Amino acid sequence: MEGMAKAMYRFAKRFDGVGGSEIRKIFSLLGVPGMISFAGGNPSPDLFPSETLAEISEEIIAEQGKSVLQYGGTLGVAQFIELLKVRNADIMKEDDDLVVISGSSQGIDFFAHTMIEPGDVMLAESPSFLGALQTFRLADAQIRTVPMQNDGVDTTLLEEQIKKYKPKFFYTIPTFQNPSGITMSAEKRQQVYDICSKYGVLILEDDPYAELRYSGEPLRSIKALDNSGIVCKLSSFSKTISPGLRVGYAIANRDIIAKFNLLKQGADVHTSNLTQTMVMEFLKRGYYDDHVKMLCREYKKQRDAMCEAIDKHFPDGVQRTDPQGGLFVWVTLPAGMDSRKLFEACVAQKVAFVSGPPFYADGGHENTLRMNFSMPSIPDIEKGVERMGRIIREFV
């Protein structure tokens, strides 16, 4: 037996052209000492409620070990599901159900596999979350896009794309979008819902940042408008409590959740009972609201520092979004500039961000980039943005 040549692996075609996240490739650069990074999308580890979670986990394993360490129901811990339903009473419809998932990414994956046959078309915002774009590609979807405006997706083009491509669903991150930081206005939420409902196009509403609002008024979830069972809403505790626990949830019509249930039996049987129960107790014991308030207070300072520093240090002709919450500011350089070249120059001077093109399913937009403000300290934000500003001026 001479050994099997690598070439003999006949991988499924869905991997063709899927190269993995460009962000992941950047991450190896970020360990360089002294690097100021605006590249990540992580919540601040300084703000994790470690002490409380340590206490909770010790207690529930010691007292409820027989259940939290055992296999559980595929939809989630029953008591946790009930709690989440109560908390979401304003958006849940009579025919809706709820499933706990291992982060909202899993919900994107399940929704894609629930709806997409190889070659089916779906719509995404442009730009959009690149992890989701990769998931849609691996689910053999054809991605068509709809450009973003300052108050959310361009609804005229949304309707045109729907008429043209008859997509299965429209993927949107309406609140403090990753990567753009843009929030869809109340008017557009209604328009998007009405258009999709008219043409029978489902909406996948990915809303993990919604509670991280630092200014402006809260807006209703698109799911709250849903009288026809077309919206599947994904929420997550990754940005508010801890991403390391991998706990989120999906709300949709029970026929859709039934498909999620089948997929989840194969995916991971169920989300960890321990991490579910930890999140449940964090909510039940009343820590959550104060914790989120604290997060908003702290992140607001970081957002303000970043926006002010950009306005001060970046040259005229550079535009930025004005995020009311979330983790990101989106920057548009003067036309003709290439953010990938800028990236190389910046990394050489120890400041990093993420270049924009990977967030566009159709490519292009070389002059865009994403900057995260939740991970760096305020002094680092000021220092890093100033440094970036200097380098951009050399490019202009």
Interacting residues with a copy of itself between 243 and 272 (CB under 8 A) = 243-246, 253, 255-256, 259, 261-263, 265-272
Q: Please, what is the minimum distance in Å from the beta carbon of residue 248 to a copy of itself?
A: 10
The backbone torsions φ and ψ at residue 195, rounded to the nearest 5 degrees and listed phi first, read: -65, -50
Q: What is the DSSP letter of 268?
A: T
Among 273, 321, 332, 367, binds a copy of itself (CB under 8 A): 273
| Residue 62 binds to a copy of itself (criterion: CB under 8 A) | yes
| Residue 51 binds to a copy of itself (criterion: CB under 8 A) | yes
Binding pattern for the stretch 100-139 against a copy of itself, x by CB under 8 A and - elsewhere: --xx-xx-xx---xxxxxx------------x--xx--x-
Binding pattern for the stretch 306-345 against a copy of itself, x by CB under 8 A and - elsewhere: ----------------------------------------
Cβ nearer to a copy of itself, comparing 189 with 313: 189
Q: Which of residues 279-298 bind a copy of itself (CB under 8 A)?
A: none
- Give kind and range of the element (H or E) at residue 313: helix 288-313
Cβ nearer to a copy of itself, comparing 139 with 309: 139
- Residue pair 326/181 in contact (Cβ under 8 Å)? The answer is yes
Query: How far, in Å, CA of 385 to CA of 371, rounded?
Result: 10
Among 142, 185, 228, 377, binds a copy of itself (CB under 8 A): 228
Query: How far, in Å, CA of 168 to CA of 97, rounded?
Result: 21
Q: Please, what is the minimum distance in Å from the beta carbon of residue 237 to a copy of itself?
A: 11
Query: How far, in Å, CA of 356 to CA of 375, rounded?
Result: 19
Cβ nearer to a copy of itself, comparing 198 with 312: 198
Burial status of residue 7 (CB atoms within 10 A of its CB: 0-12, 13-18, 19 or more): exposed
Among 25, 50, 164, 187, binds a copy of itself (CB under 8 A): 50
Among 33, 227, 336, 363, binds a copy of itself (CB under 8 A): 227
| Residue 274 binds to a copy of itself (criterion: CB under 8 A) | yes
The backbone torsions φ and ψ at residue 134, rounded to the nearest 5 degrees and listed phi first, read: -65, -40
Query: How far, in Å, CA of 271 to CA of 119, rounded?
Result: 30
Binding pattern for the stretch 150-169 against a copy of itself, x by CB under 8 A and - elsewhere: ------------------x-
Q: Which of residues 186-215 bind a copy of itself (CB under 8 A)?
A: 194, 197-198, 200, 202
Task: Tell me the CA distances in angstroms from 384 to 22, 70, 376, one per residue in order.
Answer: 22, 47, 9
Query: How far, in Å, CA of 176 to CA of 152, rounded?
Result: 10
Among 25, 32, 54, 312, binds a copy of itself (CB under 8 A): 54
The contacts of residue 321 (CB under 8 Å, 6+ apart) are 150, 180, 181, 182, 329, 330, 331
Residue 305, SS3? helix
E strand spans, 127-194: 142-149, 152-153, 169-172
| Residue 352 binds to a copy of itself (criterion: CB under 8 A) | no
The contacts of residue 374 (CB under 8 Å, 6+ apart) are 42, 43, 44, 299, 302, 327
Cβ nearer to a copy of itself, comparing 149 with 261: 261
Site residue total, a copy of itself (CB under 8 A) = 91
Q: Which of residues 64-103 bind a copy of itself (CB under 8 A)?
A: 65-72, 74, 102-103
Q: Which of residues 10-29 bind a copy of itself (CB under 8 A)?
A: 10-15, 18, 20-21, 24
CA angle 158, 176, 129 (to 5 degrees): 65
| Residue 348 binds to a copy of itself (criterion: CB under 8 A) | no
Query: How far, in Å, CA of 31 to CA of 191, rounded?
Result: 44
Cβ nearer to a copy of itself, comparing 119 with 336: 119
